[in-house]
Chain A
C-alpha cells in the first residue's frame, strides 16, 4: 500500500482514479489544481503523484517544477496523464517519471504506479 496524490481539475477523473487506485490497494488523496496539489503533497509526502497538465491556478508542469526544486520532494515520481501531452515543453518532460496520453488503459497506470512506487522504496510506506 502506498500513499498517492491524484491532481486533476475534472471530478470524473479524480473520482475514477481514486476508485481504481484504492482498489489496487493504495491510499489516494485528491486535489483539483497544481497549487492545491502542492499543498496536499507537502502535507502527505506521497510515494507517487498522478497529475493532469491543464488545470486552473497552476498546471501539472508548474507542480512538477515546484517539486523538483524542493529537496524534500524532488525524488517523488510524477506520472503526467494528459489529453495534450504534446503541449509539454520537451525540456519539462524530464520532470515526469512517465507520461500517459488520455484516454489510456487503466491497467497501464496501475503498472506504472506499481513500478515507480517499488523503485521509490523510501516513500512506499510513508504516512503523513
Chain B
C-alpha cells in the first residue's frame, strides 16, 4: 500500500495527533472561536511549508488588514518577514466575495493558485463565504470546486472558520479533515484543547489534546494515554538492583530497587521524602546520570538542602551527572509536564529519576478522571526507557494506614512502595522507614529507624524500630 504524502507542519505535536501529518493535496477545516489560535496555526504551518521550499497562498475573506496580521505575527518566532511576497502571498478577496460572489471567488482563486504556483492554500474566513452563499449547495459547491482543483494540483487547502461546523454541515461532509480548536474555563483558569474531529483516510489520535500558544506559536501536547497507549519501546526486564543512596536500606530491599522500576515514597510532610530523593540523586555519575523533576523546591533550595546533609548536588549538575527540572506548582499543563519529563530522561539518557512529587501532576490536570490512565502511560514509558524512577507522594494524615491516602488504582501500578513516618509519641522525635512492597523480590518487612546526618551520608538506617504504631502489620500483600 502506498504511503500517503504528508506535510511536515513543524507545529510541535500536531503531526502526532494527525497520524504523521496533514495529507498533502487534502482539504481541512480549522475551526474555532475568535482567539482560539486558528490564524496562528495556519500561519505557523504556512511558514514551515515556505521554509521547506513550498509556495503558500494565503487568502483572507475578512475585513481585516494584512499589515495588522503581520504586526501580530511578528511577535512569533516562526514569522519571517523576508519570506512575505516571495514564498508566501497574502491576498484579500473580501471585495471579490462581497461584490461578485462565490463563483467569481473560485475563478479568481484558481487563477491565483496557478499564478503563484502555491502548494498550500489558506482561506481565512470561510464563515464569510458561508454567509455569502444563498443555499447550502452554494457553499458545498464552493468547497468542492476548490477542493477538486487543489487535489488535482496537489495543493493542500486549509479553510479557517469561526463558525460552528457540526457533522451535518455541508463543509464538514466535503472536506478530508476537521481540526477543532477550543478554549474553555476550568474554575478560574483557561485551558485550550484541539481535537481532530474528522480525518478521512487517516487514523488520528482521538479525543481532546492540550495546546498552548506562546511566542513560538502553537504547541500541541497529545494526550499521553492516547499517544503512548503502548510504550514506544519494548520493556526489557532486568534483575539488576539500583542503590537507593539511603544507608542500610538496600539490604532491606533485597539488594536495592529493581532497575527500570517505579517506586513511591509515601509519607507526611517532614518525614524525609525529599531527603531520600537527594540521597538517591547523589549516586548519579556522568556515565549514569539522573534527572530531578520537582514541583516544590527550586534547584537552589535543593542544593542548599543537600549541602546541609554534606552532599553536593550542584557539582553533579556541573559534571552533567544530574539534570534539574523545576516546574513550580502554578499553572501547568498535564501532558506538557509529561513530555518535558520524558524528553529530559531520553536526552540525558538518565538511569535515575526522582519525581517530587506525584501530586504535581494531579494539580496540573483539569480532568482528574484521566489520572489513572495518564499515570499508566507515563510509568509504562519510563519503565520501557529503562530509567529507575522514585516518586514522592505526600500523605495527608500523620497517622493511620497509608493505603487510605493515595489512589489504590495508581498505587497498584507502582512496583515498590516505601513508607516514611515521623513520631514523637512517648519519647524523642524519631523517623522510620518501612518497605511495603518490592517487585519480584523478598524484602524486610520490619520498620527501620532512620536518621538524617550532615556528615555526607544523608539519610541512613540506624536499626530496627522496636514498635511502630500504625505502620506495623502491613506487608507486601497488604494484609
Residues of A within 8 A of B (CB): 9-13, 32, 53-57, 82-84, 86-88, 102-103
Contact = CB atoms under 8 A, between A and B. Distances in A.
A102 B67 contact: yes
Nearest to B108: A56
B90 interface: yes
Contacts of B92: 9-11
Contacts of B91: 9, 54-56
B63 interface: yes
Contacts of B111: 56-57
A9 B81 contact: no
A61 to B, nearest CB: 9
A86 B93 contact: no
11 contacts: A11-B92, A53-B85, A54-B85, A54-B90, A56-B93, A83-B67, A84-B81, A84-B84, A86-B85, A102-B65, A103-B67
Chain B contact-residue range equals 20 to 34
Given A56-B91, A86-B82, A11 B63 contact: yes
B94 A11 contact: yes
B96 interface: yes
Given A12-B63, A56-B108, A87 B95 contact: no
Contacts of B67: 83, 102-103
Between A55, A84, A86, the greatest number of chain B beta carbons within 10 A of the residue's beta carbon is seen for: A84
Contacts of A56: 91, 93, 96, 108, 111-112
A119 to B, nearest CB: 28
B367 interface: no
Q: Is the interface of A mostly helix, strand, loop or mixed?
A: loop
Nearest to A102: B67
A33 B404 CA distance: 73
Interface in B73-118: 81-82, 84-86, 89-96, 98, 108, 111-112, 115
A84 B91 CA distance: 12
Nearest to A32: B95
A86 B81 contact: yes
A9 B95 contact: yes
B184 to A, nearest CB: 32
Contacts of B85: 53-54, 82, 84, 86-88
A57 B112 CA distance: 7
B131 interface: no
B214 interface: no
A83 B70 contact: yes
A9 B93 contact: yes
Given A12-B65, A103-B67, 20 more contacts: A10-B92, A11-B63, A11-B94, A12-B64, A13-B65, A32-B96, A53-B85, A55-B91, A56-B91, A56-B93, A56-B108, A56-B112, A57-B115, A82-B85, A84-B70, A84-B84, A87-B85, A87-B86, A88-B85, A103-B68
Contacts of B64: 12
Nearest to B63: A12
Contacts of A84: 70, 81, 84-85
Contacts of B93: 9, 56
B403 interface: no
B71 to A, nearest CB: 7
